[in-house]
């Protein structure tokens, strides 16, 4: 069956909304049952907010275990996302029909280090927006060799870029600003997000978004997003790009009040930094996979906060000229100077330790860098390993980070936002859901 001409220009929709002064909000949502997936998209579209849709894929599709999907579908077992590669293309088109379009574009989210078949399937279904990256969808989520992920993403992105010949505008969002979701100093998040965007751009993708995940301090987050915007303006001058903020991706608050306060601050961060889109989280994040209704409630709460949040301050000195910018720029330059091909340069950078993600256990990550949260709530480097920023980092931690330090840091946000709302009775311990993590992905 021939593929339809893609509709629903994702980047153009976000740009129109931003010009009109509206923040685009988006859920993480994926269901294995087509009727449930369609119902989720329908509810997202009808929410009292400016929304885009999400088609999150299941964890078997992420790792290419199509036999397991066939078994699950045959036996009626539930999947934790939509198996776009395994369903007939007409099934996906039926899910989208009458919903996906220029006024409600839909993005495919997946978490795969081997995305070629996903690119093929989404293109055949008439979709033109997805996300990920050769580093950000490799290091945190499995043990696929980084060079293999790089080849896979180069092949898939080159195919995806050919949609431009059809008059479409393929859009890829880098996931680099969300590495591991937590405890990664912002300069590394900014650098990887920008580097993945440059990687896609040189493969022919001209419409991009760069991500940044809300971390542990609002002031530091604002500094990081300013650095991200400045680097994109410098390195992607002929691309259309926007910034997407992710509500905090680590251990989430347990109380509804804490959840909504944290989500509201993510919306304020987005508006206050001129960012164009926000990925929300819900009140159910610390306990289970959220329902459609909980996703809609989160979308509408974020939109309400965004409508009254102040925008970027006028007349201030360039906030991009900061410690975070200096570190991120140094990391980016070290990578791009390693080799003229960006993909190969990224491989060289990880081999030499120029890029090193704290607490990431992937075999291709050096694993020498460490971070900690200081007494102001800022994420700092405790050990820079071979990162080329040692001369820029002041006030390094005087003692090694212990396992108890790490556990305390992992729950820092949850404790900070729940503390005012705990009852006197014993407190439950919030944890990530036992099922899939962000965007429907299982724990590695």
- Over the stretch 352-367, which tens digit does the pLDDT of each residue have? 999 999 999 999 999 9
Least confidently predicted of 147-156, 193-202, 258-267, 314-323: 314-323
The number of C-alpha atoms within 13 Å of 136 and in the hemisphere containing its C-beta is 32
Integer Cα distance of 280 and 303 in angstroms = 10
Of the candidates 367, 383, 311, 436, the residue with the CA atom closest to the CA atom of residue 29:
436
Q: Which two tokens stand for residue 277?
A: 């889109």
What average pLDDT score do residues 104-123 get? 96
pLDDT at 49: 98
When pLDDT is cut at 50, 70 and 90, the band that residue 408 belongs to is confident
Per the document, the length of the chain is 444
When pLDDT is cut at 50, 70 and 90, the band that residue 5 belongs to is low
Please report, for the domain that includes residue 428, its CATH number. Answer: 3.20.20.240
b (16+ CB within 10 A) / e for 211-222: bbbbbbbeebbb
Per-residue pLDDT at 230 exceeds 70 = yes
Residues 125-151: tens digit of each pLDDT: 999 999 999 999 999 878 899 999 999
What average pLDDT score do residues 267-277 get? 98
Q: How far apart are the first and last CA of the chain?
A: 36
Count of C-beta atoms within a 10 Å radius of residue 236: 18
Integer Cα distance of 182 and 371 in angstroms = 10
pLDDT at 288: 77
Task: Say if residues 53 and 106 touch (Cβ distance below 8 Å).
Answer: yes
Per-residue pLDDT at 97 exceeds 80 = yes
The SS3 call for residue 109 is: strand
pLDDT at 407: 87
Per-residue pLDDT at 86 exceeds 50 = yes
Integer Cα distance of 287 and 296 in angstroms = 18
SS3 percent helix, strand, coil of the chain, rounded to 5, is: 45, 10, 45
When pLDDT is cut at 50, 70 and 90, the band that residue 439 belongs to is very low
b (16+ CB within 10 A) / e for 119-144: bbbbbbbbbbbbbbbbbbbbbbbbeb
Which strands form 240-246's sheet, in the order they lie side by side? Answer: 50-51, 24-26, 277-279, 240-246, 207-213, 171-174, 129-132, 106-109, 53-56
Alpha carbon 363 to its chain's center: 22
Per-residue pLDDT at 83 exceeds 80 = yes
When pLDDT is cut at 50, 70 and 90, the band that residue 430 belongs to is very low
Integer Cα distance of 400 and 379 in angstroms = 15
Rounded to two decimals, what is the model's pTM? 0.91
pLDDT at 419: 86
Q: Which two tokens stand for residue 415?
A: 């404790």
Of the candidates 141, 128, 23, 33, the residue with the CA atom closest to the CA atom of residue 77:
33
Of the candidates 18, 22, 29, 168, the residue with the CA atom closest to the CA atom of residue 99:
29
Q: Could you tell me if residue 131 is left (phi over 0), alpha (psi between -120 and 50 degrees) or otherwise beta?
A: beta
Per-residue pLDDT at 427 exceeds 90 = no
Per-residue pLDDT at 166 exceeds 90 = no
Nearest 5°: CA angle at 64, between 60 and 68? 50
Per-residue pLDDT at 318 exceeds 70 = no
Structural domain of residue 245, as residue ranges? 1-310+318-444
Structural domains in the chain (count): 1
The SS3 call for residue 370 is: strand
When pLDDT is cut at 50, 70 and 90, the band that residue 269 belongs to is very high
Of the candidates 184, 143, 135, the residue with the CA atom closest to the CA atom of residue 384:
184
User: CB within 8 A of 179, min separation 6: which ones?
Assistant: 135, 136, 139, 140, 188, 189, 192, 357, 360
Of the candidates 334, 350, 335, 332, the residue with the CA atom closest to the CA atom of residue 235:
332
Find residue 277's DSSP bridge partners.
24, 244
Kindly provide the residue ranges of all beta strands, DSSP E only, lying in 313-406, ordered along the sequence.
Answer: 370-373, 379-383
Alpha carbon 318 to its chain's center: 26
Per-residue pLDDT at 85 exceeds 50 = yes
pLDDT at 306: 97
Q: Could you tell me if residue 21 is left (phi over 0), alpha (psi between -120 and 50 degrees) or otherwise beta?
A: left
When pLDDT is cut at 50, 70 and 90, the band that residue 153 belongs to is very high
Per-residue pLDDT at 425 exceeds 50 = no
Integer Cα distance of 348 and 329 in angstroms = 17
What average pLDDT score do residues 230-258 get? 94
Nearest 5°: CA angle at 382, between 215 and 376? 45
Query: DSSP H helical segments within 135-238, as ranges?
Result: 146-161, 186-202, 218-235
% of the chain with per-residue pLDDT over 90: 77
What average pLDDT score do residues 209-236 get? 97
Integer Cα distance of 176 and 145 in angstroms = 17
Task: Say if residues 35 and 27 touch (Cβ distance below 8 Å).
Answer: no
When pLDDT is cut at 50, 70 and 90, the band that residue 289 belongs to is confident
When pLDDT is cut at 50, 70 and 90, the band that residue 397 belongs to is low
When pLDDT is cut at 50, 70 and 90, the band that residue 431 belongs to is very low
pLDDT at 140: 87
When pLDDT is cut at 50, 70 and 90, the band that residue 285 belongs to is confident
Rounded alpha-carbon distances, angstroms, from residue 179 to 322, 419, 437: 21, 27, 13
């Amino acid at each position: 069956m021939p593929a339809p001409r893609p509709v629903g220009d994702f980047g153009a929709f976000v740009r129109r909304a931003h010009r009109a002064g509206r923040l685009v909000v988006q859920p993480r949502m994926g269901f294995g049952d087509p009727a449930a997936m369609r119902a989720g998209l329908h509810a997202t579209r009808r929410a009292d907010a400016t929304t885009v849709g999400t088609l999150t894929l299941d964890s078997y599709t992420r790792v290419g275990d199509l036999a397991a999907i066939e078994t699950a579908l045959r036996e009626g077992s539930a999947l934790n996302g939509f198996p776009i590669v395994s369903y007939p293309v007409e099934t996906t088109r039926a899910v989208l029909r009458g919903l996906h379009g220029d006024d409600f574009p839909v993005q495919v989210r997946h978490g795969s280090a081997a995305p070629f078949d996903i690119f093929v399937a989404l293109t055949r279904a008439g979709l033109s927006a997805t996300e990920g990256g050769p580093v950000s969808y490799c290091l945190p989520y499995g043990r696929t060799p980084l060079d293999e992920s790089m080849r896979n993403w180069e092949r898939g992105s080159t195919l995806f870029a050919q949609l431009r010949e059809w008059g479409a505008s393929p859009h890829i969002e880098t996931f680099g600003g969300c590495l591991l979701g937590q405890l990664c100093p912002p300069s590394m998040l900014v650098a990887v997000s920008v580097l993945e965007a440059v990687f896609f751009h040189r493969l022919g993708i001209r419409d991009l978004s760069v991500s940044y995940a809300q971390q542990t301090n609002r002031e530091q987050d604002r500094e990081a997003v300013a650095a991200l915007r400045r680097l994109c303006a410098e390195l992607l001058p002929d691309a259309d790009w926007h910034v997407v903020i992710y509500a905090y991706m680590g251990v989430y608050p347990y109380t509804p009040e804490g959840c909504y306060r944290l989500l509201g601050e993510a919306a304020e961060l987005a508006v206050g930094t001129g960012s164009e889109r926000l990925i929300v989280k819900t009140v159910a994040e610390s306990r289970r996979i959220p329902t459609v209704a909980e996703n809609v409630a989160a979308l509408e709460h974020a939109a309400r906060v965004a409508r009254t949040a102040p925008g970027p301050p006028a007349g201030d000195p360039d906030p991009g000229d900061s410690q975070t910018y200096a570190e991120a720029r140094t990391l980016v330059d070290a990578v791009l100077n390693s080799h003229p091909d960006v993909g190969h340069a990224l491989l060289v950078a990880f081999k030499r330790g120029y890029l090193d993600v704290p607490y990431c256990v992937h075999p291709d990550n050096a694993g020498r860098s460490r971070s900690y949260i200081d007494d102001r709530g800022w994420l700092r480097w405790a050990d820079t390993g071979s990162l080329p920023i040692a001369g820029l980092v002041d006030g390094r931690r005087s003692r090694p980070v212990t396992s108890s330090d790490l556990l305390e840091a992992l729950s820092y946000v949850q404790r900070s936002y729940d503390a005012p709302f705990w009852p006197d009775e014993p407190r439950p311990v919030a944890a990530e859901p036992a099922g899939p993590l962000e965007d429907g992905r299982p724990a590695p």
